[in-house]
Amino acid sequence: MTPTRFFSMILLSVLFISGDLAAQNMVISQSHENGIYHSGDPIYVKLFLSGKKTDSVTVSTRRNYSTSTTRQTLACKGDSLQIFSETAATTGSIIFDVTTKTDTMSLGLLVDPEKLGLSTKRPKDFEKFWKAEKKQLRALAFEIQSTPLNEITKGYSVFNMEINCTGPKPVRGYYAKPDNAKPGSLPIVLFVHAAGVSGNWCRSEPGNALRYAQMEKGAICFDLNAHGMLVAQPEAYYKDLEKNELYNYSQTGLEDRATVYFHGMYLRLMRTLDYLTQQPEWDGKRILVIGESQGGGQALAAAGLDPRVTAVVASVPAMCDWGKTINGSKGGWPNPFSTKNDQAKMLAAVPYYDAAHLLKGSKATIVTEIGLIDFTCSSESVYTAINQAGGEKIIYPVPFRAHQLAQMSAANRTFWDKNIGSAKENFIRDYLK
């Protein structure tokens, strides 16, 4: 069995969801603070109210991301109320939404997540398909367009870079490294982006590459945008892509494995890694891929596609076990099986790009944050994907995390910054020492 580390939400019971100053405060506490249970464990969920101004609460319970919920209204006679009691038995998730007259709060949990299994079959020619793609990619001689940026921090170089690729678009982004680094002295960091086109989180920035190049003893870093877009363009360029060429990109070409949008995205991932591993500064050992949401899915895909990848930090990752939607649960973003495309054709095409299939055999260390109330990248889909990998797994399940950090209360965000965000940052820094 591969080593897996789960981390508890220490002192979770002190966190509050607050409305305005006149509103009451709510706390939901559960018997396992990290939200992870195993068969036979007692599950208790309690509600605590401060400044009670209501006589009842409404509790909606959703199992395994079903579209149906169990809804009940409970009398609130004091400042605490047990809203759920059950012995854990069936593998899967439960999400609670608790509502009063003034406030709403959600909390999630999972039972036996390590037992969650694949929802689609891995194609018989899966390895053959990707082997052929890699062979074609590596037969292509490198053509590099590199423009150095001026006025960058002394001792570091940053380049606006384009690398040819077999996909429909070239690799584009920013490459940074320390000046005068000795051959064989530096790790590789590949930074990849969340979904979207025109948002600032979607675009490569010099600062992203420079940040990791400067971290600890230094690294060679590439900030890769997902779409092969030009960098440093006027806002209108990105808006036009979003409205036209890249409109609804994640759900295009789903009926043919050659046209699934992620085909080009994954080729650019591999091409970038091939370039970085040719740099004389690389230490020949460490390759770390970092991303959130779509970026987290790319990080997992990179670990599956390239055995040289030694670690990933994948936060609320997308592109995981898409087939769960077929089985009445919820697959990861972009949830292709919720579209109106031909399901049989999709079953023959999209599994080639599913992180749950790509991760089979990966030995990379996987650091992942999983939101237990995330309806974009469902907790079940993420666990299923990482269950397929064979390396060490460091897992941060977060019972109060939806997909966007902005959806957290101020108190929960403070807790997250101190205990989750900092833990991931510390892993990266330790890895790069």
- Rounded to a whole number of angstroms, the distance between the first and last alpha carbons of the chain is 28
How would residue 11 be classed by pLDDT, with cut points 50, 70 and 90? very low
Same domain, 61 and 196: no
Average pLDDT over residues 418-432: 97
Rg (alpha carbons) of the chain, rounded to whole number? 23
Same domain, 315 and 394: yes
Find where tokens 């494995």 sit.
257
Asked, for residue 342, whether it belongs to a domain, the answer is yes
Asked, for residue 6, whether it belongs to a domain, the answer is no
Count: domains in the chain = 2
Instruction: For residues 305 and 303, give the distance between their C-alpha atoms in angstroms, rounded to a whole number.
Output: 6
Same domain, 21 and 155: no
* CATH code for position 223: 3.40.50.1820
Instruction: Give the pLDDT score at 52.
Output: 65
pLDDT averaged over the chain?
93
What tokens were used for 143? 């053509």
Same domain, 101 and 246: no
Q: Is the pLDDT higher at 217 or at 25?
A: 217
Same domain, 110 and 150: no
**Tens digits of per-residue pLDDT, 293-331?**
999 999 999 999 999 999 999 999 999 999 999 988 999
Average pLDDT over residues 279-283: 98
Instruction: Give the pLDDT score at 7.
Output: 60
What tokens were used for 164? 């040819």
Domain that holds residue 93: 11-114
What tokens were used for 102? 């003034």
Asked, for residue 368, whether it belongs to a domain, the answer is yes
* CATH code for position 73: 2.60.40.1930
In the listed set 85, 114, 143, which residue is the last one of a domain according to the structure? 114
